[in-house]
Amino acid sequence: MGQAIGQVLPLAVGVALSPVAIIAVVLMLVTPRARANGPAFILGWILGLGIVGAIVLAIAQPAGATSDGQPATWVNVLKLVLGLLLLLLALNQWRGRAHGDDEPATPKWMRAIEGFGPGKALVAGAVLAGASPKNALLAIAAAASIASIGIEVGEEAVAYLVFALIGTVGVATPVVIYFALGERAGSLLDGLKRWMSRNNAVIMAVLLLVIGAKLVGEAISGFS
C-alpha cells in the first residue's frame, strides 16, 4: 500500500492546486452562508473525487490491472493517453495566461456564488473535483496507478482515500483560515483570491506539464 500512496502523491498535489476551485471557496466565504457553504463545498469535493475513484477501481478489478506482478498493458496505455492529455491542457493554459496588465476573465458561474446555499455549494464542490478536465484526469490516473500495484481491495480504498484527502488540502485551507481567524481572515483570503486569479494559468501550465511528463514517462517505462 505504501507504494500505491507514493505513486499518487504527486497526482494528489496536482488536485490540491486547483486555483479556480480555491477562488470559488473564497467567494463563498464572504457570503452570509459562509459557515455552512464552506464545509459543504469540501464535502462535495471529497464526494466528487470519491465517485471517480470508485468507478475506475471497480472497472480495474475485473479488467485485470496487473499481470504477473506488473501493470497490465491497458494501464500503461491509459497512463500514456492521460499524460498526453495533460500536456495538451498545459499548452492550452500557457497560451491563455494573462499578459501585461490584462485582468484574467472570471467564469460566469462564479457570479452566482453569492446566492448559493449548502446544497449548491456541495454540488459545486463535487463538479469541480470530479468533472473538471484536470482533476478528472488526475483522479483517473491515481485510481489506475493504485489498481496496477496489485494490492487488496481494502488497501486500494485506503490509498485512494489518502489521495482524496491530500487533494482536498487546497480548497480546505481557506475554510480553515476563515474559521480560525473569523473577520480577520477577510484581507488574507482576498489577497489569496487575487493572487490565484492572476497566476492561475501559469500555475496550471507548469503543474500539468510536470505531471503529464511523469505519466508519459511511467507509461514508456511500463512498455519497456
**Tens of pLDDT, residues 99-125:** 666 656 667 777 788 788 999 999 999
Distance of CA 133 to the CA centre of its chain: 9
C-alpha span between 69 and 78 (Å, rounded)? 18
Distance CA 47, CA 51 (A): 6
Instruction: State if pTM tops 0.85.
Output: yes
Average pLDDT over residues 13-32: 91
Q: How confident is the model over 44-61, as pLDDT tens digits? A: 999 999 999 999 999 887
99/103 Cα distance (integer angstroms): 8
- Three-state secondary structure call for residue 205: helix
Mean pLDDT of 203-218: 92
- pLDDT tens across 74-94, in order? 888 999 999 999 999 999 888
| Sign of the alpha-carbon torsion through 123, 4, 172, 101 | negative
The count of other CB atoms within 10 Å of the CB of residue 94 is 15
- Asked which of 107-121, 138-152, 156-170 is least confident by mean pLDDT, the reply is 107-121
Q: Of 150, 168, 161, 145, nearest to 214 (Cα)?
A: 145
CA 132 to chain centroid, in Å, comes to 8
Query: Residue 67: CB partners within 8 Å, gap ≥ 6?
Result: 73
Closest CA to 141 of 11, 46, 14: 11
CA–CA separation, 175 and 23 (whole Å): 11
- Residue 63: band (very low, low, confident or very high) from pLDDT cuts 50, 70, 90: low
Average pLDDT over residues 181-194: 84
